[in-house]
Amino acid sequence: MTSIKNAVVLVTGGSRGLGKALVEELYERGAAKVYATARDPRTVTHPDAVPLGLEVTSPESVAAVAERAGDVTVLINNAGVSLGATSFLDAELKDIRGDFETNFYGPLLVTRAFAPIIERNGGGHILNVHSVLSWLGVAGSYSASKAALWSQTNSLRLELRPRGIAVTGLHVGYIDTDMAARVDAPKSRPRDIAALALDGIEAGAHEVLADEITHRVKAGLSEELTALYPQLAD
């Protein structure tokens, strides 16, 4: 089990939305230090956080942050994008690739940089922020990139366990953040999801299903495809 109290944590995308809420909740639970990354570190506003500039798609940027944050014991891969490539047939290929660069390759680059650090510091935990859309292909390349991240997380969980590093995947529907600002649907509060995510870390959970729609969609994976995609029943 991983305790948040006295942990040293790095949160990618830590300046707003869920990332900002995670930083706040980490300090509420007694984390010793929280590195909060953003493309522009000046946007990190928590007074106790250590702001670091990070572009998760850049190996050089990731390596520089790993050099600065050599005491990390918990990594939270939260940074993500949705570039609006909802149609595989019509969307710009650069947008499809962009979703994968940030949502799949970004967490992989950061994990590859920090896994040796966490192991060297005695072991710890990694949390990857997925989505209910990891299991529901209704958002084009965003869904596909999160599905790929889910698969990555499952593989890394097996690879990292012998090295003393546990891995949790967070699945959640819409959160009341800038990314979902145009969505007219029920949304969870970022602080509520942050609390559930950290509960999952401390409990050693393999997955955290953070809301009702996520539980429902996960259960539907064992049903016929028409349970998730009723339009196929016509």
Q: Active-site residues: which are they?
A: 142, 146
Burial class from Cβ neighbours inside 10 Å (0-12, 13-18, 19+) for residue 184 reads: exposed
Yes or no: say if 188 and 210 are a contact pair by the CB < 8 Å rule.
yes
Please provide the DSSP assignment of 104-119 as one string: IIHHHHHHHHHHHHHH
| Degrees, nearest 5: CA angle 153-154-158 | 110
What are the residues facing 207 on neighbouring strands?
169
Helix (H) / strand (E) element for 181: namely: none
CA-CA distance, 173 to 103, in Å (whole number)? Answer: 16
DSSP E strand boundaries for 15-122: 33-38, 50-53, 74-77
Phi, psi of 127 (to 5 degrees): -115, 125
CA-CA distance, 112 to 209, in Å (whole number)? Answer: 25
Phi, psi of 58 (to 5 degrees): -105, 115
